[in-house]
Chain A
Amino acid sequence: MTLGDLVARAATRRPAALAVRGPDGDLSYGELDAHANRLARALMSAGVRPGDRVAIWLPKSCEAVVAMQAALRIGAAYVPVDSLSPAPRARSIMHDCAVRAVVSRPDLGRAILDGGDGRIALLGIDGLAREPLASVSADPLPAVAVQPSDLAYVLYTSGSTGRPKGVCISHSNALAFVNWAVDAVSATEADRFSNHAPFHFDLSVLDLYAAFSVGAAVCLVPEGAAYAAEQLVRFVREERITVWYSVPSAIVLMMDRGGLLSSPPDALRALLFAGEVFPMKDLRRLRDAWPTLAMWNLYGPTETNVCTAHSVGRIEAAQTSIPIGRATCGNRVWAKTDLGAVARPGESGELMVQGPTVFAGYWGQPPRGDDAYGTGDFVRVGEQGEFQFLGRRDAMVKIRGHRIELGEIEAALGHHPSVREAAAVVVGEGLSARLVAFLGTGSHAAPALLDIKRLCAERLPRYMIPDDAVSMAELPRNRNGKVDRSALVAVAAPRAASA
C-alpha cells in the first residue's frame, strides 16, 4: 500500500463521494483520481521518472492535492514549497534535492526558474479543467512498482548551519502514522477533516491521508483565513468539521476571538493539537466548556511525525501541564539520561524514537537505516511511564508550531556587509511571539529593517524572517564570553510589548 493507493482505493469504492473541498472548488474521489492520472501523465512527458522529486509550489488548493497524488502515482516524491516564499528560497530547496520538475502556476513557476539551468521542467497549471491538463488521458497509468520504503515526500525544515534540511519520509513511514491516526480517532467515511496546516508542515499529512484512508472528506482552510478567528469558527460550523487538527495558537484564537465556546459546533467530535504547548488556562477553559469532546495532545518532530500522544481527560485543579503521552504508531520511545541509560519513572533525559515512523534520512546524507533518532527534546518520565515535555537545551525554538533554529537566522544575518555578529531571540509566546534580530555592527551604519528582511527572505522560510532588528556596536556578553541572550531578550521584551 502506498499513499497514492489510498485515493485509488477510495475512488473504486466511493467515486462520487467528496474527497477535497478547497478554495478552487470540490473534487470527488473519482475526479481526484482522474485528475491525478492526467497530471501524472503530464509529469511523465516532462521527464519525471520513479525516484525523482517533484516540487509543488501552489497555494493551498485542490490543484495542490492533485499534484501531490500525481507525483506519488509515478513513484516520485513530492516536495511542497511555501507558495508565498520568495523565488530564491524556493530555488534553494529545489536545487538542494535536485527536483526534476515543479508544478506551479505558469507565471510563478517561470519566476522561480528564471535564470535557472533549464534542468527543472515546469508544469504550469491554472485550473484542472483547462489546458495543459484538459486534453490528457485520465485512464489509469501502467502500474509503477512503488516499494513501501520508497520516498513519498520531502519536507524542508530549519537546520542550524544555514543550509536547508530536507526530511525524507517513505510511504511506510507515512502509512504507519496514518493508520495509527485513523484508529485513534476511529475515523469513518462519514468524517469531515479540516486541513489548517500548510502542506509543507507535517500536520497536513494526517488531514489528507487519514481522510483518504477511510474515504472521508477533507476541507482545506484557505491560506488567508488561517488566523481569522471568526472565519475559522464559521468554517468549522458550516463545513460540519468532525476532526480538527492544528497548532494550539489557532484553537486559542478561535476561543478568544471567534466565539468557538459560545456554542460549541455540534459536529466536532475530536480536537487534535501539536507543535507547541497548549497554555493550561486556555485548555482548562476548553475542557470546562466541552466536557465530552475527545482532545489529543500529539507530539513529534518532522523526523518522526507523531511519536507520542496523550488523550486529554479531566483536568485536575492542581495540574500545571499535560503530558505528551506515550509511544504511538508502533514506535519504541524512551528517554536517554545523561549517562546513556534508559530513564525510569521520576528521571529525565532526551526523548529517543525508533520505529516505523522515523524518517529515512536527510536529503544528501546517508540513509539512516534503523538508527534511533534523538529529538533534542528533554522529557521527564511520569509514574505510569508517560512522558512530560521539559524543554530543549539547544538554540532551537518554536513559533506557532514552526521549528526555528536560531543559528540558521544568524547565519543569514551574517551575510549583510555591516553585520559582524548576530543573535536572534524569540520574545513572547503563542500568537504574540516575535523574532528579534540583534546585530553587532561595530562602526558600520545600522542596516534598515527592510534590508534585513529582504536578506533573510532570500534565504529563510517566511516564518523565520525577523520581525525587528536592533543594531548595536557590540553584542552583550556574559562571563563565559558567549553572547548574553537573556540580556537581549530583556531588551527586546518591552519593545515587543509596546508594538
Chain B
Amino acid sequence: MSDQIVIAELREFVAREFLHGKDDGLDAATPLIELGIIDSVAIVVLSDFVLRRFGVTIPNAELKPSNLATLQTIASMVNRLRQA
C-alpha cells in the first residue's frame, strides 16, 4: 500500500477522531504532537485504528515521537511494519 493511501486514511481518521472534522490545514507534514493533536491518550486510540485498519501492531519501541510526529512519518512506519 503506498504511503499516499495510508496518509489519506490516517488523515481522515485524525480529522474525525481528534479534530471534530475541522481539518483545514491538516496535511502530511502537520506536527501532530507539538500541536497537541496526538497526546499520550490519543496514541492508544491511534494504535487501535492502525491495527484494525491495516492489521499492524505497533510495538512499544516504535511509539516514539520520531514515528508519530506527522501523518507522513506514521504512514512510513505503518508500511515498514507491514513489510516486516
A59 part of interface (Cβ distance < 8 Å):
yes
- What is the number of contacts between chain A and chain B, taking CB atoms within 8 Å? 79
Mark the stretch among A7-15, A208-216, A281-289, A450-458 that contacts chain B: A450-458
| Residue contact A448 to B64, C-beta cutoff 8 Å | no
| Residue contact A457 to B36, C-beta cutoff 8 Å | yes
| Residue contact B63 to A224, C-beta cutoff 8 Å | yes
- Contact A450:B40 (CB < 8 A) given known A84-B65, A223-B64, A499-B20: no
| Residue contact B34 to A86, C-beta cutoff 8 Å | yes
B8 part of interface (Cβ distance < 8 Å):
no
- Contact A224:B64 (CB < 8 A) given known A449-B20, A499-B20: yes
Main secondary structure of the interface of B (DSSP, over half): loop
Q: Which residues of chain B come closer than 8 Å to A222, judged between CB atoms?
A: 60, 63-64
- Contact A85:B34 (CB < 8 A) given known A224-B60, A225-B63: yes
Cβ contact of B36, chosen from A228, A431, A462, cutoff 8 A: A462
Q: Which residues of chain A come closer than 8 Å to B68, judged between CB atoms?
A: 224
Number of B residues whose C-beta is below 8 Å from A? 28
B28 part of interface (Cβ distance < 8 Å):
no
B70 to chain A minimum Cβ distance, whole angstroms, is 13
| Residue contact B24 to A462, C-beta cutoff 8 Å | no
Question: Which chain A residue lies CB-closest to B34?
Answer: A86
Contact pattern, A 26-40, Cβ under 8 Å of B = 1, otherwise 0: 000000000000000
Contact pattern, A 59-93, Cβ under 8 Å of B = 1, otherwise 0: 10000000000000000000000011110000000
Contact pattern, B 42-84, Cβ under 8 Å of A = 1, otherwise 0: 0110010000000000001101110010000000000000000
A463 part of interface (Cβ distance < 8 Å):
yes
| Residue contact B26 to A225, C-beta cutoff 8 Å | no
A227 part of interface (Cβ distance < 8 Å):
yes
Q: Which residues of chain A come closer than 8 Å to B37, judged between CB atoms?
A: 453
Chain B residues with CB under 8 Å of chain A are: 17-20, 22-26, 30-31, 33-37, 39-41, 43-44, 47, 60-61, 63-65, 68
Q: Which 8 pairs across A and B sit closest by C-beta, in order of nearness? A: A224-B63, A465-B36, A449-B22, A450-B25, A448-B24, A226-B40, A453-B35, A86-B34
